[in-house]
Structure 1
Amino acid sequence: PRQGLAWVHFKVRCIFQLLGAALLLFPALRVLGPDPAFAQNVNAAPMLVLGACAFASPLYAGPAARGAVLSWLGRLGTTAAEREAAVVSTLCGLGRQSDGSLLRKAGLSFRVISFDRLRSDDFVPGGGGGDADKRAEKAALGDCDAFVSHAWLDNAAAKWQALERWAKAFQQERGRPPTLWVDVVSIDQSAVAESLACLPIFLAGCESLLVLGGPVYTSRLWCIMEIFTFLSITTDLSRVTIVPLKGGGRRSAAELDTLSAFSRFSVEQATCALDTDRENILSVIQSSYGTYDDFDRAVRGLFAERLDPNAVPSRSASSYRAPSGADASRRTASELGWPMV
């Protein structure tokens, strides 16, 4: 649908340019040809103005202009909370279930795990000893310190080391190990599809977003969707921590690759397994930000500001401005009307 709409826009712009060229050429050729007096005709000037406007239409009807109009229309007659809820609702709609049904399921299936119960092999595909999901505990939406966002194709040992460093700093500051939402232990393995449909609600129910960023991370669209969702529900960047993955040495090749991937981030280059999911996610991002370039800049800015290997989420406000105009206060699960378990 997204490519189809872009093709329609392209054809319409071409038609307007051809029409504009005709309106510009007709008076000129008529004056230079058989009817020089046409220059004094009352219709000549309006035709030239209309032709110039039509010919120049790509300048004011391009992707950037359309994005600005789309973003403005999305803000008309809605509050910040309504726009936040709409983003989460739209993303949840990718699971093709009703909002009410997903909210109930999310409230009943939200599970977290204390860091001291995690194991390093939990981040190895097929690891965890078969009991990974049994070590998580039910919690109320909003009662989780961090949603852990990572790409499975990034190095498992490096991800564990990054999480371990962050958790140690967290415990030193708070006096307890952090509670985490981690996909391999928090998703009900007997109902994976239903749990994935609730993913945006799970993310919104966590106090902070912890990104274990490796070279692969920015190329996975579901990972970027998690960042997009979090940016849509909060303006406080102090709630986001990005921990770059490290290898051996002071500045490893893996870390340099990670920093390079972050600085060159483009959402249109990100992929996921299903083309339909990719189209749907990109459409939601475009409708919220107007253009992909605006979203790319927001994400690169986030990477630059919150890339800190030793950071612990604080409660101080940041200057980030969300695309939907959301206010800076944190909205808890209860404020958004989510079920508490």
Structure 2
Amino acid sequence: MTGTERLAALRARCAAPPAGDEAAAAAVTARQARLTKPPGSLGRLEALAAWMARWQGRALPRLERVQVLVFAGNHGVAARGVSPYPAAVTAQMVANFAAGGAAINQLAACAGARLRVVPLALETPTADMTEAPALAPEEFLDAVDSGAAAMDEEVDLLCLGEMGIGNTTAGAALAAALFGGGGDWAGRGTGLDEAGLARKRAVVEAALARHPEARTDPLEAARRLGGRELAAILGAALEARRRGVPVLLDGFVCTAAAAPLARLAPGGLDHALVAHCSAEAGHRRLVEALGQRPLLDLGMRLGEASGAALAVPLLRAALACHAGMATFAEAGVAEGAP
């Protein structure tokens, strides 16, 4: 298949995402109404159970196989001083993940999830997006395919995250292209001072000016302004939709990476929830633009799927209540009783 054919096939998949199983979601809602509690008293836990049912296609959802995928990539724009850390830190952190020493290792274990870290051509940073598209068409498509291929064969829930020095700059540029605005989407990332923040915002503005096509084409925005790890997140989220797997998105960069799916088709990201609101500037604004409400808000801004993994026990609690509580009839409790 040629690159043109591959891109056309990707567009077609993005434009026609499979629908959720509304019958499964309705069955959850009907059971919730019979459980020994006042109607709606478990709040969002009830909605979460129905959301899992809708996107797993099961009236009784399960969380036996939870996977955390962290994609890592390097960015040419990092050479412009948009991060206080050098690009070499990306590979160093990947080694730390492999050794079990990062926060995501601990949080994935707490969540009962299998962690997989996927480095993507760390020795070959993307092009500087202020000078050229971050990725050539074939590079972009290969990264999308890598994301799809990284999923386990059997998955009940997928948590997505990333690692890459300079990628909050890419995320800010992508968010601006998709939802309007400019350098105001950029925040301090891993700890920029005022001069660094001003430099980062100028870089975002320069990238947007260099790539006007990104304002009108979400896939071109992802290719020209993103990176390999962002493209892989898009590919994994799209594959999860095809396979009937609900998704938890991590912070700002991860949400921006998946956001083109919401722009390419109505409801294109309905199978994915934003797990937490990052402290990174722009994330709350991005979440609101997507019409979502984060599950958690703990002031975190680490990345590496940490917020997504942290939300898994919340989904387990929602499922435990849904599956384990007795109905009024089973408990011998009169319906409507306090």
| TM-score normalised by L of structure 2 | 0.30
| TM-score normalised by L of structure 1 | 0.29
Q: Which has the higher helix share?
A: 1
Rg comparison, structure with higher value: 1
